[in-house]
A and B are shown apart, each in its own frame.
Chain A
Amino acid sequence: MTFRKLCFILAGIAILSFAAGPATAADTIKLAYIDPLSGGFANVGDAGQKHFQYMADIINGRGGVLGKKIEIVPFDNKISAKESLIQLKNAIDQGIVFITQGNGSSVAGALIEAINKHNKRNPENPVLYFNYAAVTPAFTEEKCSFWHFRFDAHVDMKIAAITDYIKGRSDIKKIYLINQDYVFGHAVRDAAISMLKEKRPDIEIVGNTLHPLIKVKDFSPYIAKIQASGADAVITGNWGADQSLLVKSGKDSGLDVEWYTFYGGGLGSPAAIGAAGEGRLKQVTEWHNALSTEENQPADEKFYLGYQEKYSDGGRAPYYYGRIRTMMEMFVLALEKAGKAEPTAVAFALEDMQYDTPYGTVTMRGFDHQLIQPLYISTMTKVGTQGVKYDVENTGLGWKTDGRVEAEDTAMPSPCVMKRPKK
Chain B
Amino acid sequence: MNCDKYKNGNIAMSLLLKYGAWIGAAIIAFGLPAIVRSSYGLSLLSQVGIAIIFALSYNMLLGQGGMLSFGHAVFYGLGGFLTIHVINIINGGSLPIPLELVPLAGGFGALLFGIVFGWISTKRAGTTFALISLGIGELIASSALMLPSFFGGEEGISGDRMLETTLTWFEFAQQIDVYYLIAFWMLVSMVFMYLLTQTPLGRLANAVRDNPVRTPFIGYDVHRVRTIQYALSSLFAGVAGGLFAINYEILTAETIGAIESGNVLMMTYIGGVGHFFGPILGAVLVTFMQISLSNITHAWLLYFGLLFMGMVLWAPNGLAGIIMVHEPVWKAKLMKKLLPGYALAAIPALVLFLGVMILIEINYHLSLSINPDAPMHMFGIEFDARAPVAWGISIVLIVVGFVFLRRTVKTLNRSWQEITQIMKKGAD
Contacts and interface: CB of A to CB of B under 8 A. Distances in A.
Nearest to A6: B330
B148 interface: yes
Nearest to A86: B43
B389 interface: no
A83 B291 contact: yes
Contacts, number: 145
Given A3-B331, A15-B28, A184 B154 contact: yes
B154 A212 contact: no
Interface in A183-238: 183-184, 186, 212-213, 215
Interface in A6-25: 6-8, 11-12, 15-16, 18, 20-21
Nearest to A49: B370
Nearest to A47: B370
Contacts of A83: 290-291
Interface string A160-186: 000000000000000000000111101
A259 to B, nearest CB: 23
A37 interface: yes
A78 interface: yes
Interface stretch (A105-113, A394-402, A414-422): A105-113
Nearest to A109: B155
Contacts of A313: 372
A46 B365 CA distance: 12
Nearest to B41: A20
A109 B249 CA distance: 12
Interface stretch (B17-25, B195-203, B409-417): B17-25
Contacts of A21: 38, 40-41
Interface in A70-128: 75-76, 78, 80-83, 85-87, 89-90, 92-93, 104-106, 108-110, 113-114, 117, 121
Contacts of B35: 15-16, 18, 20
A53 interface: yes
A39 interface: yes
A136 B142 CA distance: 21
A2 B331 CA distance: 7
A134 to B, nearest CB: 9
A38 B298 contact: yes
B39 A18 contact: no
A50 interface: yes
Given A86-B291, A182-B153, A11 B28 contact: yes
B38 A110 contact: no
B249 A106 contact: no
Contact of B158 (A108, A110, A311): A110
A106 B151 CA distance: 12
B10 interface: no
Interface stretch (B53-61, B116-124, B226-234, B251-259): B251-259
A105 B294 contact: no
A83 B370 CA distance: 22
B39 A92 contact: yes
A4 B17 contact: yes
Given A4-B21, A15-B28, A82-B255, A93 B250 contact: no
Dominant secondary structure of chain A at its interface with chain B? helix
Contacts of A8: 24
A85 B24 contact: no
A82 B248 contact: yes
Nearest to B159: A113
B150 to A, nearest CB: 13
B301 interface: yes
Contact of A212 (B39, B145, B330): B145
A310 interface: yes
B5 interface: no
Contacts of B47: 82, 86
Nearest to A120: B173
B196 to A, nearest CB: 22
A7 B300 CA distance: 27
Interface string B300-318: 1100000000000000000
A110 B248 contact: yes
B contact residues, range: 35 or more
Contacts of B146: 181-182, 212
A311 B371 contact: yes
B254 A106 contact: yes
Nearest to A110: B250
A179 B367 CA distance: 34
Interface in B1-15: 3
A24 to B, nearest CB: 12
Nearest to A51: B370
Nearest to B50: A82
Interface string B316-347: 00000001001100110000000000000000
Nearest to B287: A86
A313 B368 CA distance: 9
B370 A50 contact: yes
A102 to B, nearest CB: 14
A179 to B, nearest CB: 12
A7 B320 CA distance: 11
Contact of B298 (A76, A85, A181): A76
Contact of A76 (B173, B253, B295, B370): B295
A106 B156 contact: yes
B295 A109 contact: no
Contacts of A310: 371
B103 to A, nearest CB: 17
A336 B47 CA distance: 39
Contacts of B331: 3
Given A92-B39, A117-B249, A75 B295 contact: yes
A110 B148 contact: no
A313 to B, nearest CB: 8
Contacts of A37: 294, 298
A20 B38 CA distance: 6
A39 B301 contact: yes
A181 B147 CA distance: 9
Listed residue (B24, B32, B250) with the most chain A CB atoms within 10 angstroms of its CB = B250
A81 B327 contact: no
B138 to A, nearest CB: 9
Given A109-B155, A113-B158, A183-B154, A81 B298 contact: no
Contact of A183 (B43, B148, B368): B148
Contacts of B248: 81-82, 85, 110, 114
Given A3-B327, A46-B370, A81-B254, 18 more contacts: A2-B17, A4-B3, A15-B32, A16-B35, A37-B294, A81-B250, A83-B291, A89-B39, A110-B252, A114-B248, A114-B250, A117-B160, A138-B155, A186-B153, A215-B142, A311-B370, A311-B371, A313-B372
Interface of A: 2-4, 6-8, 11-12, 15-16, 18, 20-21, 37-39, 42, 46, 49-50, 53, 75-76, 78, 80-83, 85-87, 89-90, 92-93, 104-106, 108-110, 113-114, 117, 121, 136, 138, 181-184, 186, 212-213, 215, 310-311, 313
13 contacts: A2-B17, A21-B38, A49-B370, A75-B295, A82-B255, A86-B291, A89-B42, A93-B38, A104-B154, A109-B155, A117-B160, A182-B146, A213-B145
Q: Which 5 A-B residue pairings sit nearest by Cβ, starting from the closest?
A: A183-B153, A109-B155, A182-B145, A3-B330, A93-B40
Interface of B: 3, 17, 20-21, 24, 28, 32, 35-44, 47, 142, 145-146, 148, 153-156, 158, 160, 173-175, 244, 248-250, 252-255, 290-291, 294-295, 298, 300-301, 323, 326-327, 330-331, 368, 370-372
